[in-house]
């Protein structure tokens, strides 16, 4: 989650080739060399009148920063600002508590036994995914959707919204529940990656991944409803199965790594469903609906 690792928005994984935009971000930047003795800004066409003014774009005013220049990571914060002042907590409390209330020492011990078996039987095979998804997993979703930040920039923004809002929502309940990590109870689980510095319940990876899957379903459904000629219902049904399977896999890999109990993952999925409903219920003028509306046009 923010265990992503501080995922806040899944920044990182700079080595991932699908990441054109996760590290540098669209609208981010790169290193450009320039001559010290003849800076590029001083180059002008011979005979240009008023050469200093000729190198400037005037008239942009105070609101001249175009929407396209906002990187997905930072654009998602506009949605977070509006979500944070909504009354999302009340509707989310019940589904989270339904999973939290039955947990006791007996059930926790049973879950530890399951994690021991998973560490023995599955961890070696899952290690590649455990390592790559620890830092970020937006690229996993882009792979399933067969998109890139350049081909579907607004869809890419919606994925970041899911990641950031999921991280924010899950921390509210992590502070509330204070469940120890499995390796705090059974240190011999020896997670192969750093244990995040926050409590276990709900799982942040599960919340974020399932919320991203839910939001992608909404984008696809709205695109189809708007008369998209490039995607049909059969395509949507296939992608939804894949997106949900990916979200479940991301959550389960954190269990195999010894970082989460299965009930943490279930609570994350339940929380993601509630957060999705709260986002959809926000005023139609909200930034969330604007993001969905722009993203559906890419399908």
Q: How far is CA 255 from CA 5, 77, 171, 192, 206, in A?
A: 16, 29, 18, 12, 10
Q: Is residue 135 part of a domain?
A: yes
pLDDT value at 166 more than 50: yes
79: phi then psi, degrees, rounded to nearest 5:
-65, -40
Q: What is the pLDDT of residue 22?
A: 54
Q: Is residue 153 part of a domain?
A: yes
Residue 107's domain comprises 17-25+72-296
Q: What is the pLDDT of residue 116?
A: 98
CATH number at residue 247: 1.20.144.10
Q: Is residue 31 part of a domain?
A: no
Range with lowest mean pLDDT among 26-30, 83-87, 269-273 = 26-30
Residue 90 burial by Cβ neighbours in a 10 Å radius (0-12, 13-18, 19+): exposed
Q: What is the pLDDT of residue 32?
A: 86
For residues 72-80, give the mean pLDDT.
94
Distant-in-sequence contacts of 180-189, Cβ < 8 A, 24+ apart: 181/259, 181/260, 182/111, 182/112, 182/115, 182/258, 182/259, 182/260, 182/261, 183/258, 183/259, 185/108, 185/112, 186/112, 186/115, 186/116, 189/112, 189/115, 189/116, 189/119, 189/258
Q: Is residue 6 part of a domain?
A: no
Model pLDDT for residues 4-46, shown as the tens digit of each residue: 444 444 433 433 334 444 544 555 567 888 999 988 888 888 8
- CA 113 to chain centroid: 30
Structural domains counted in the chain? 1
For residues 122-144, give the mean pLDDT.
97
Model pLDDT for residues 191-230, shown as the tens digit of each residue: 999 999 999 999 999 999 999 999 999 999 999 999 999 9
Percent of the chain with pLDDT over 70: 90
- How sure is the predictor about 80, in pLDDT bands with cuts at 50, 70 and 90? very high
Q: What is the pLDDT of residue 67?
A: 86
Q: What is the pLDDT of residue 13?
A: 40
Query: CA 1 to CA 12: how far, in whole Å?
Result: 13
Q: Is residue 210 part of a domain?
A: yes
- Within 8 A by CB and 6+ apart from 106, the residues are none
Query: CA 104 to CA 233: how far, in whole Å?
Result: 43
Which ranges constitute the DSSP H helices of 103-203? 105-121, 123-135, 138-145, 153-177, 182-185
28: phi then psi, degrees, rounded to nearest 5:
-85, -95
| Residue among 264, 159, 253 nearest 203 (CA) | 264
User: Following DSSP, what letter does each residue of 221-240 receive, concatenated?
Assistant: HHHHHTT-SS--HHHHHHHH
For residues 47-75, give the mean pLDDT.
82
Please answer whether residues 164 and 208 qualify as being in contact, where contact means their C-beta atoms are separated by less than 8 angstroms.
no
Q: What is the pLDDT of residue 12?
A: 38
Q: What is the pLDDT of residue 28?
A: 54
Q: Is residue 51 part of a domain?
A: no
Range with lowest mean pLDDT among 47-51, 241-245, 290-294 = 47-51
Please answer whether residues 299 and 219 qualify as being in contact, where contact means their C-beta atoms are separated by less than 8 angstroms.
yes
Q: Is residue 40 part of a domain?
A: no
Please answer whether residues 160 and 72 qualify as being in contact, where contact means their C-beta atoms are separated by less than 8 angstroms.
yes
Residue 87 burial by Cβ neighbours in a 10 Å radius (0-12, 13-18, 19+): exposed
- CA 167 to chain centroid: 8
For residues 264-269, give the mean pLDDT.
98
Query: CA 211 to CA 268: how far, in whole Å?
Result: 9
């Amino acid at each position: 989650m923010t265990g992503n690792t501080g995922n806040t928005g899944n920044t990182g994984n700079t080595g991932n080739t699908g990441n054109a935009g996760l590290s540098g971000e669209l609208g981010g930047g790169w290193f450009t060399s320039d001559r010290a003795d003849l800076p590029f800004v001083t180059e002008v066409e011979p005979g240009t009148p008023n050469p200093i003014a000729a190198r400037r774009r005037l008239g942009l005013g105070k609101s001249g920063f175009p929407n396209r220049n906002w990187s997905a990571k930072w654009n998602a914060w506009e949605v977070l600002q509006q979500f944070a002042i909504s009354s999302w907590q009340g509707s989310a409390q019940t589904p989270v508590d339904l999973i939290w209330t039955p947990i006791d020492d007996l059930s926790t011990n049973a879950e530890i036994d399951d994690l021991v078996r998973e560490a023995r039987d599955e961890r070696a095979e899952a290690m590649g995914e455990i390592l790559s998804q620890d830092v970020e997993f937006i690229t996993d979703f882009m792979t399933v959707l067969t998109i890139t930040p350049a081909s579907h920039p607004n869809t890419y923004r919606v994925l970041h919204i899911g990641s950031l809002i999921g991280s924010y929502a899950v921390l509210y309940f992590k502070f509330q529940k204070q469940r120890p990590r499995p390796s705090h109870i059974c240190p011999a689980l020896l997670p192969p990656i750093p244990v995040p510095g926050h409590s276990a319940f709900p799982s942040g990876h599960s919340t974020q991944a399932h919320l991203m899957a839910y939001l992608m379903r909404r984008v696809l459904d709205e695109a189809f409803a708007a008369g998209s000629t490039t995607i049909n219902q059969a395509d949507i049904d296939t992608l939804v199965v894949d997106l949900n399977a990916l979200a479940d896999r991301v959550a389960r890999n954190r269990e195999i790594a010894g970082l989460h109990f299965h009930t943490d993952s279930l609570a994350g999925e339940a929380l993601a469903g509630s957060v999705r409903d709260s986002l959809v219920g926000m005023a139609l003028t909200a930034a969330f609906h604007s993001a969905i509306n722009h993203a559906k046009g890419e399908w």
